[in-house]
């Protein structure tokens, strides 16, 4: 990731009011990019977007990704050099409760984002952000590669596999690499592992639930303590997106494909390990108790193979899982001690960038 590359670049972030979107806007603004956003109002109360006053850093438009006309007008007005499409319904349990919302937001929303770029008829580099859950989960103990079969059993995971197919169709139909000199649109997809970081208040997600429990000096209730996931700090994930975007702009014919972003295999660990590590920073004992209620099924194993990103992009996680959890604990501990959310986030951004100097 090259911070100087982004100076004065016009970047449109869909989903900019969310947890990852807020971090991305702060990161891009710190690089001198001209950032615009299109999203619904912040999805949580509290939200990092509001607490860190991210609205002061971006040209924000509040709108529904399912509104094609408004989104098209936004893309034309911003005239972005880059579109990073992150707007989504991202909670597995919510997808069981409202599958129609999940499919309409994730699938049709992606159609709209790519269609808006097509209608703008100008050069653009697009990162279509999906998820590690887009693969057909076979319960393997090794990581999924970019050429493995797409699938997904729950509505959320399945919807994200569909968004990958949407991206493939738009690239083949409207933005083929063989005609790049005509349309000048490069499209890649980014499949990231489970992202953790300060400022996340997404309901029924591990880090927000754990912090909420620890603040009340009680153990967190875990649905699936032995589930294995590829955890990574939000800044590692975003560094992957931006590294890919830089490469895409430089050589679209080589990089307009699908990419995994996650930790090395040793960084994949259980839900209970994550909670126990946070508890060691928080002083909470016991850290967790099992949930006795019946819940919708979730995959017990999920790992990513990130060899492609490491070999061709030179990207790797800068933080180990234990370092990432230390940063997460520090962010929340300092925030709840009265520190400013943007100040805390920028401190971690600067510390992260110092790792690669």
pLDDT of residue 150: 95
pLDDT of residue 47: 96
Percent of the chain with pLDDT over 70: 100
Structure tokens at 289: 């108790």
Structure-token match 């090395």, residue found: 264
Q: What tens digit of pLDDT does each residue of 322-344 get?
A: 999 999 999 999 999 999 999 99
Q: In the chain, where are the structural domains located?
A: 3-355
In this prediction, residue 300 has a pLDDT band, given cuts at 50, 70 and 90, of confident
pLDDT of residue 165: 97
Q: What tens digit of pLDDT does each residue of 16-44 get?
A: 999 999 999 999 999 999 999 999 999 99
Is the model more confident about 91 or about 286? 286
pLDDT of residue 267: 77
Q: What tens digit of pLDDT does each residue of 243-259 get?
A: 999 999 999 999 999 99
CATH superfamily of 3-355: NAD(P)-binding Rossmann-like Domain (3.40.50.720)
* pTM listed for this prediction: 0.96
Closest C-alpha among 66, 61, 48 to residue 111: 66
The mean pLDDT of the chain is: 94
Q: How many CB atoms lie within 10 A of CB 178?
A: 7
Structure tokens at 45: 């109360």
pLDDT of residue 42: 94
Q: What tens digit of pLDDT does each residue of 127-145 get?
A: 999 999 999 988 887 899 9
pLDDT of residue 215: 94
pLDDT of residue 20: 97
pLDDT of residue 268: 87
């Amino acid at each position: 990731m090259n911070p100087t590359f982004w100076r004065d670049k016009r970047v449109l972030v869909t989903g900019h009011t969310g947890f990852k979107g807020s971090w991305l806007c702060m990161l891009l603004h710190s690089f001198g990019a001209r950032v615009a956003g299109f999203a619904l109002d912040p999805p949580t109360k509290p939200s990092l977007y509001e607490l860190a006053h991210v609205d002061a850093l971006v040209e924000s438009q509040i709108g529904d990704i399912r509104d094609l006309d408004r989104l098209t007008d936004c893309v034309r007005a911003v005239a972005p050099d880059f579109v990073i499409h992150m707007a989504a319904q991202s909670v597995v349990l919510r997808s069981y409760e409202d599958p129609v919302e999940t499919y309409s937001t994730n699938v049709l929303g992606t159609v709209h984002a790519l269609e808006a770029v097509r209608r703008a008829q100008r050069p653009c580099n697009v990162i279509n952000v999906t998820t590690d859950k887009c693969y057909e989960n076979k319960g393997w103990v090794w990581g999924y590669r970019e050429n493995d079969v797409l699938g997904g059993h729950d509505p959320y995971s399945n919807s994200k596999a569909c968004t990958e197919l949407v991206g493939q169709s738009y690239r083949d139909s409207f933005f083929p690499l063989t005609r790049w000199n005509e349309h000048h649109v490069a499209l890649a997809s980014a499949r990231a592992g489970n992202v953790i970081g300060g400022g996340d208040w997404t309901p029924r997600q591990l880090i927000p639930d754990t912090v909420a429990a620890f603040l009340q000096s009680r153990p967190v209730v875990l649905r699936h303590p032995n589930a294995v996931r590829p955890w990574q700090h939000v800044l590692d994930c975003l560094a992957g997106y931006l590294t890919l975007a830089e490469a895409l702009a430089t050589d679209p014919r080589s990089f307009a494909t699908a990419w995994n972003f996650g930790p090395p295999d040793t960084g994949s660990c259980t839900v209970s390990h994550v909670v126990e590590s946070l508890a060691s920073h928080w002083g909470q004992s016991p850290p967790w108790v099992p949930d006795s209620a019946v819940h919708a099924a979730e995959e017990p194993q999920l790992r990513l193979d990130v060899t492609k990103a490491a070999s061709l992009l030179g990207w790797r996680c800068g933080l180990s899982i234990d370092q990432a959890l230390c940063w997460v604990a520090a962010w929340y501990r300092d925030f709840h001690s009265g520190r400013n959310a943007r100040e805390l986030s920028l401190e971690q951004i600067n510390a992260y960038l110092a790792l690669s100097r």
